[in-house]
Structure 1
Amino acid sequence: MKIVHVTQPVEAGVAVVVLELAKAQQRRGWDVSIACPPGWLTHQAQKAGIPVHPWHATRSPGPRTALELLSLRKTLQRLDPDLVHLHSSKAGLGRLVTRGRTPTLFQPHLWSFRIAEGLLSRACRRWEALASRWTHLLVCVSDDELAAGRTAGVTAPAEVVCNGVDTQRLHPEPKADDTPTAVCVGRVAHQKGQDLLLQAWPQVLERVPDARLLIVGDGPMAATLKAVNHPQVHWHGHSDQVSDFYERADVVVLPSRAEGMALVPLEAMACGRSVVAFDVEGVEQSLGDAGEVVPENDTKALAQAIAIRLADPELAAAEGKRGRVRAETLFDRDRMTSQIVTLTEKLVSTEGRR
């Protein structure tokens, strides 16, 4: 079976999922390749022996989008795959290329209309509803993501396959010191909400004066946020060894404004760490009783939830233990890849008979 994964972005959560799916399908003996721009994913795929076809696409639509789609069309015509798996809203524009002629699986990971605003958000909703006719299967990473799509008029056949993490590589380790520590991992961008966390941080320090905050990641807002002298905040930039930071945490914070189902809470739970997060898509389904979910954008509630766990490490540790069980039971990487493999086989078999 010949599968082509198409993605933009090529780093962080989406890229990790694409890489794990491609490796799992490769282990089954399938002919698997990835079309994407240069970046972390390209390097990792090549190390795993997965062919990569250059697709020089920007993260957002723009003046070059038509040329990007023309390039993708040529690549897909040359490869002639049995199925095209499109990851993220930008790659989802590839449905203008496939137009239902090739079995097409679309996985948004996060709907574009959730992070766009005004007229652009409405245009994204209309596009996703229209593109349903060329989507043989929609795969959402959480129940919330599927519900948001249905509300926007997306009618394509759909399945929910929750994200998964490597619970063998990620596992609980003892905390090295007694300093109350909150950790935030992610691309430093408006969607990820580090600015909201920094607004809440002084309120945390009022209750836990010796607390520290570790921010791990880089991105378009990093320089602006770092320019402000936030007390007891430590910036660590991008890291491929995020488990080292989870080990230092009493609580891991997800202050995102929007998600599909974020990998960070799943990684934190696999490492036995409590999680505090805003109530965005996928969070309730992820966390259960392994932390606390607070109202979206409510920085006062966020600060309170963080401070409670920094002041009471036994509470945080108990939530971390429950999180580890959830990660192993519900969010293991192999479970996720196996579900996608099954859906892919079924889709190719069904569409091939038509």
Structure 2
Amino acid sequence: MTILHISQPVDGGVARVVVDLVRGQREAGHRVLVACPGGGRLAEEAAAVGGLVQDWPADRSPGAGTAAEAWRLRRIVRAAAPDVVHLHSAKAGLAGRLAVRGAVPTVFQPHAWSFAAVDGPMAAATLRWERFATRWAHRLLCVSVQERADGVAAGVHADWAVVPNGVDVRHYAPADRRAARIALGLDLDAPLAVCVGRLCRQKGQDVLLAAWPEVLRRVPRARLALVGGGPDEQRLAEAVRESAEPCRVRLVGDVPDPRPWLAAADLVVLPSRWEGMALAPLEAMAAARPVLLTDVPGARECLPQAERARSVVPPEETDALATRMAEALSDPIECERRGARLRDHVVARHDVRTVVEQVDALYRDLLGAGPAAGRRRARVPEWI
């Protein structure tokens, strides 16, 4: 079949999900196109795995240019003649549904609800849009049961599907901690917590820094590394410089490959304010590292039942976050044991190859089910 993915953003977890889908779908023999803005990783990486990249200039947030962005998407859809259109995240979901209006089988994947990311009138307006726009999506694809439940509770009525996120468990295989620390120039014995994620309000690195002094009080030799770039980078750097012990925190910046930092870590922390199902914890667990997450959609579902009590804390509660971090960093041998168990869990439940198969089955269901469905090309109406 011919599949058109439309995405904005072009970095972070959403981009990695799209690239993984493109890779798996190309390996299955499908024709796969990706419409996205340039300037991020998505275009280059999607092309590298066999996707046909279509340039779609679009801002990350809605604005005066949204109508023009939707119009440009109409032209891309007409030229691509896809069997299925797959929209990723809120902005592509907005422009894509305005452009296609259900004329082609359409999957919308929010990757965390847009109305959870804003407050006040903007949250109300965003929610009204999501309730209205479901008429132009044949499936609303969530990455966690909780994400779907939050949508239902908010009054979003849709034909739902849930496919948990996955990672390439071969790519994120366990690696030697000592070798990784030598390569990164880190202390070989100091307890190390690592946070991998875009530096922005969603990911909660400010909450992590607020909890860090209490962690140091309990584990004086501990170190913290923030791996990633983003709009809050300067503000977080200033907070680190003004802290009592700035030498104990390292802002690594954006890196092309987080695996050395995962290998070096004793504990991987992601104190998000909202998510659908974050990829960073799955990557950490695939690398055999224990995780500490906030109790947002997808967090509990990505963990085995036995790990949830000590691996999940309430969002924005610095005391609980500090307590759990200190407990983990005080016992690196137990961290090793937990990491090995979590690796087994991710291999069994969150292998990206399984995700690709489930998404492929969803597409075929939309097209009429059965292997022949992908050979029936959709007719794109002239008005698109």
* TM-score computed with the length of structure 1 as normaliser: 0.97
What is the identity, as a one-letter code, of the residue corresponding to 2:261? F
Residue matched to 1:325: 344
| Residue 211 (structure 1) aligned to one of 210, 222, 226 | 222
Residues 275 and 287 in structure 1, CA contact (< 8 A), matched pair in contact too: no
Deviation track 1:239-288 (CA, whole Å, cap 9, x = no partner) reads 12111001111100011100000001101100111111111110011123
Pairing 1:75-154 to 2, within 5 Å after superposition: 75-93=76-94, 94-154=96-156
Deviation track 1:39-62 (CA, whole Å, cap 9, x = no partner) reads 211111222231111111111101
Structure 1, unmatched stretches of 5+, are none
Shift of 1:156: 1.3
When the two chains are superposed, the root-mean-square deviation of aligned CA atoms in Å is: 1.5
Distance 1:287 1:300 in 2: 22
SS in 1 for 2:302: helix
What is the identity, as a one-letter code, of the residue corresponding to 2:77? L
Residues 184 and 252 in structure 1, CA contact (< 8 A), matched pair in contact too: yes
SS in 2 for 1:297: coil
Pair 1:303-2:322 in alignment: yes
Residues 99 and 134 in structure 1, CA contact (< 8 A), matched pair in contact too: yes
SS in 1 for 2:367: helix
Pair 1:272-2:288 in alignment: yes
Shift of 1:314: 2.1
Distance 1:100 1:112 in 2: 21
Deviation track 1:103-138 (CA, whole Å, cap 9, x = no partner) reads 001111111001011111111111111111111011
Distance 1:264 1:240 in 2: 14
Residues 265 and 287 in structure 1, CA contact (< 8 A), matched pair in contact too: no
Residue matched to 2:251: 235
| Residue 262 (structure 1) aligned to one of 274, 278, 281 | 278
Distance 2:28 2:321 in 1: 44
Residue matched to 1:346: 365
Residues 26 and 50 in structure 2, CA contact (< 8 A), matched pair in contact too: no
Residues 22 and 50 in structure 2, CA contact (< 8 A), matched pair in contact too: no
Structure 2, unmatched stretches of 5+, are 179-187, 380-384
Residues 284 and 293 in structure 1, CA contact (< 8 A), matched pair in contact too: yes
Residues 45 and 52 in structure 1, CA contact (< 8 A), matched pair in contact too: yes
State the number of aligned residues: 354
What is the identity, as a one-letter code, of the residue corresponding to 1:146? R
SS in 2 for 1:283: coil
Residue matched to 1:22: 22
Residue matched to 2:195: 184
Shift of 1:325: 1.1
Bigger drift between 48-57 and 33-42 goes to 48-57
SS in 2 for 1:165: coil
Shift of 1:96: 1.5
Residues 103 and 136 in structure 1, CA contact (< 8 A), matched pair in contact too: yes
Residue matched to 1:316: 335
Change (3 A) 1:49 1:174: closer
Distance 2:192 2:252 in 1: 14
More RCO (CA 8 Å, sep 6+): 2
What is the identity, as a one-letter code, of the residue corresponding to 1:307? A
What is the identity, as a one-letter code, of the residue corresponding to 2:4? V
Distance 1:45 1:132 in 2: 27
Residue matched to 1:70: 71
Deviation track 1:23-81 (CA, whole Å, cap 9, x = no partner) reads 21112221110000012111112222311111111111011111111111111122221
Residues 22 and 49 in structure 2, CA contact (< 8 A), matched pair in contact too: no
SS in 1 for 2:297: coil
Shift of 1:140: 0.4
What is the identity, as a one-letter code, of the residue corresponding to 2:89? S
Shift of 1:20: 1.0
Shift of 1:16: 0.6
Residue matched to 1:4: 4
Distance 1:33 1:308 in 2: 47
SS in 2 for 1:68: helix
Residues 165 and 266 in structure 1, CA contact (< 8 A), matched pair in contact too: yes
Residues 284 and 290 in structure 2, CA contact (< 8 A), matched pair in contact too: yes
Distance 1:153 1:328 in 2: 35
Residue matched to 2:163: 161
Residues 37 and 56 in structure 2, CA contact (< 8 A), matched pair in contact too: yes
SS in 2 for 1:236: strand
SS in 2 for 1:280: coil
Pair 1:251-2:267 in alignment: yes
